[in-house]
Amino acid sequence: MKVTFLGTGTSQGVPVISCPCKICTSSNPRDNRLRSAILIEDEGTNIVIDTGPDFRQQMLRAQVKHLDAIVFTHEHKDHLAGLDDIRAFNYFNKKRVDVYAHERVQAAIKREFPYIFDGNNYPGIPEIDLYDIRAGVNIQINNITLQPLEVMHYQLPVFGFRINNFVYITDANFIAPHVMREIKGVDHFVINALRREKHISHFTLDEALAVIEEVNPGHAYLTHISHQLGLHDDVAAELPKNVVPAYDGMIIEM
């Protein structure tokens, strides 16, 4: 299995529009972060987790030629807004795209993209089939099994996912003890680390490192990073040896 970080930035991305800070004006490409999303590839099956506003650019950059399914963590715009661009996969793959989402997220999709569901069948609209995500019920997409992991994004339940010995969690600031038991000791663990200062709905760097210490993975990766965290190379230099800040285009092979 191969995982590609399509984006590792927070809701505004990095650089932030109009920001003159040293991170937003850095010449290091690893300091440029599109909105958070990943691509999972295994034996010909391609799954994307989240379609933010940069989805089109991410698909072009990663040279993705077919898509079997999209899986959503939650309904915030930086994770949902690019869904319309699956139209190209409908056209070239000549099939509908399966979309997996919690019923609350499905309601947001219907609200944000009403033309998909209004029955007019206007030529060229996205063609999708919706399927439920429920805590405790695994998702089977061809040869890939995803275990939903419900975590909290302030007061909003969102989903992370475990696939074999890989776990992906973004937009969280609380992981319940029973979920921690499901992920302890995994080989590869991705967790959000927004910035250093306290935030109402995201783990800070120190909080993310505390979660990583408890999970005790072989390798850990920080994502959903804002320009307030610091320069990529500076952050990387201060982390424990098994922890790295993920960057756009980074690939994990398992």
Which pLDDT belongs to residue 197?
Answer: 98
- Over residues 139-158, the mean pLDDT reads 98
| Domain parsing of the chain, residue ranges | 2-253
Which pLDDT belongs to residue 86?
Answer: 97
The CA-atom distances, in angstroms, between 162 and each of 145, 188, 238, 252 are: 8, 10, 27, 15
Contact 33, 57 (CB under 8 A): no
Contacts of 219 (CB under 8 A, 6+ apart): 187, 188, 189, 242, 243, 244, 252
Q: What is the pLDDT of residues 28-44, one digit of tens each?
A: 999 999 999 999 999 99
pLDDT above 90 coverage of the chain, percent: 98
User: Which residue, among 214, 246, 202, 230, has the nearest Cα to 39 in the 3D structure?
Assistant: 246
Which pLDDT belongs to residue 33?
Answer: 98
Q: What is the DSSP-derived secondary structure letter of residue 116?
A: G
CATH homologous superfamily of domain 2-253? Answer: Ribonuclease Z/Hydroxyacylglutathione hydrolase-like (3.60.15.10)
Q: What is the pLDDT of residues 53-79, one digit of tens each?
A: 999 999 999 999 999 999 999 999 999
